[in-house]
């Protein structure tokens, strides 16, 4: 499967639209349905897709149930595989090459008036330095025809860049837009130790498609998935520039910071390329934030009780709140699940534990379970002085927060009939 396969079935918007605000406006007016824009005023010959990467569409495309997909993601983390290298002639991304780079001619959107400008939010960075390779999401503010400023949070790429800057080195990278969805999921994962995300993507590719992930090497030595829509050769330089403001996943406006400058050397793209334009705080942002973290939560909970599904909620910005579905067998299993879930994703602030008859993605049914199966004074866990998330503006100055867990499961061994709904 390629990115184009996931785009199939999207509503086609054929009227002219601008990269400045109009695509998000169309998305909002349509109820955020999957969209394919085919007439971009500032980027003729390019198309834009948005709202295509959702839990439901991914499961449908992969032909798996949501709980099964979480298990597959967890398995891939533990069983990375080797991709294979193919020749450039076998990769359609080289159908067009822009040697004099012009980022302004690409359909990079400006979604919110509050943003500092046009942002790449769905593009991933593949970096190779010091014998390591990292693949991850990092937003980029377009600064000129051949440069951006990238927000690097304290994760593995930031460590790599810090090391390079100490050595006065640039980091060769590829900026990739529109890869296979397994690559997007792998790039969104977070690991305690450096792990080659492309090897995780390769494991997913083999498990879900039965074939090896194909990579192709760019002129700067960095490899990219062979079937991507865009592959851009670039360098993270030793220079810095202003990045921000930016509407983040919580819908709040992130501040301006000094961040590394990326300089672009070449842009390759497919014929009639489809640019993935993720809307910050939108449905795809929630999916990429939440789904790759569900496996670590499910794994942690499964060590203490049978866990059947995990969902990082939209209201929790795909990160701060989750609903965990379990099969309780003993009194206290719900509380055990709460503690394990919070340990499985330490940035999380809230956990609600439900029985298997509650759809974790349906907020109304989750609230119903709380109102009919949960007693606040008996079934609530509150923890103070916990590690918090930088996404939470209410956290303490030292970065800590309090956390809450609610057990909305039916006590094992009692008559369930008074707690069951016929709706």
Catalytic site positions:
248
Q: Which two tokens stand for residue 414?
A: 């009692």
CB distance 373 to 419 below 8 Å: yes
- CA angle, 204 then 210 then 211, to 5°: 85
Identify whether 245 is preceded by a cis peptide bond (ω within 30 of 0).
Answer: yes
Q: Give the rounded distance of the alpha carbon of 166 from its chain centre.
A: 30
Q: Which two tokens stand for residue 100?
A: 């004099």
Q: Which two tokens stand for residue 295?
A: 């496996």
Listing DSSP states for 319-384 in one string gives TSEEEEEEE--STTHHHHHHHHHHHHSTT--EEEEE-TTS-TT-HHHHHHHHHHH--TTTSEEEEE
Q: At what angle do helices 55-62 and 66-78 cross, to 10 degrees?
A: 80
């Amino acid at each position: 499967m390629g990115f184009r396969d996931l785009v199939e079935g999207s509503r086609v918007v054929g009227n002219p639209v601008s990269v400045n605000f109009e695509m998000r406006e169309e998305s909002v007016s349509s109820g955020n349905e999957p969209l394919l824009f085919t007439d971009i005023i500032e980027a003729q010959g390019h198309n834009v897709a948005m709202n295509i990467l959702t839990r439901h569409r991914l499961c449908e495309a992969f032909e798996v149930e949501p709980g099964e997909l979480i298990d597959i993601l967890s398995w891939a983390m533990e069983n990375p595989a080797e991709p294979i290298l193919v020749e450039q002639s076998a990769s359609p991304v080289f159908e067009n090459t822009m040697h004099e780079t012009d980022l302004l001619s690409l359909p990079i959107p400006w979604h919110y008036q509050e943003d500092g400008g046009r942002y790449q939010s769905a593009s991933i960075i593949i970096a190779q330095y010091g014998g390591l390779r990292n693949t991850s999401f990092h937003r980029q503010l377009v600064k000129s025809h051949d440069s951006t400023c990238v927000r690097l949070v304290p994760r593995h790429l930031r460590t790599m860049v810090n090391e390079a800057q100490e050595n006065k080195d640039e980091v060769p990278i590829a900026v990739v837009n529109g890869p296979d969805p397994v690559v997007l999921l792998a790039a969104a994962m977070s690991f305690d130790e450096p792990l080659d995300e492309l090897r995780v993507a390769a494991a997913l590719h083999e498990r879900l498609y039965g074939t090896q992930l194909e990579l192709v090497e760019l002129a700067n030595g960095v490899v990219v998935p062979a079937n991507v829509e865009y592959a851009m050769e670039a360098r993270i330089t030793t220079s810095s520039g202003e990045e921000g403001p930016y509407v983040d996943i919580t819908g709040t406006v992130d501040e301006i910071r000094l961040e590394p400058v990326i300089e672009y050397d070449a842009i390759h793209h497919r014929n009639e390329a489809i640019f993935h334009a993720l809307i910050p705080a939108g449905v795809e942002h929630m999916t990429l934030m939440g789904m790759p973290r569900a496996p670590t939560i499910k794994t942690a909970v499964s060590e203490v009780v049978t866990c059947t599904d995990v969902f990082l909620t939209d209201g929790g910005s795909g990160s701060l709140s989750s609903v965990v579905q379990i099969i309780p067998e003993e009194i206290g299993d719900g509380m055990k699940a709460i503690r394990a879930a919070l340990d499985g994703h330490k940035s999380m602030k809230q956990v609600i534990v439900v029985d298997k008859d509650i759809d974790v993605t349906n907020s109304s049914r989750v609230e119903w379970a709380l109102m009919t199966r949960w007693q606040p004074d008996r079934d609530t866990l509150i923890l103070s002085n916990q590690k918090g998330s930088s996404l939470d503006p209410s956290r303490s100055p030292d970065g800590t927060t309090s956390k809450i867990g609610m057990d909305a499961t039916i006590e094992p061994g009692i008559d369930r009939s008074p707690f069951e709904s016929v709706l």
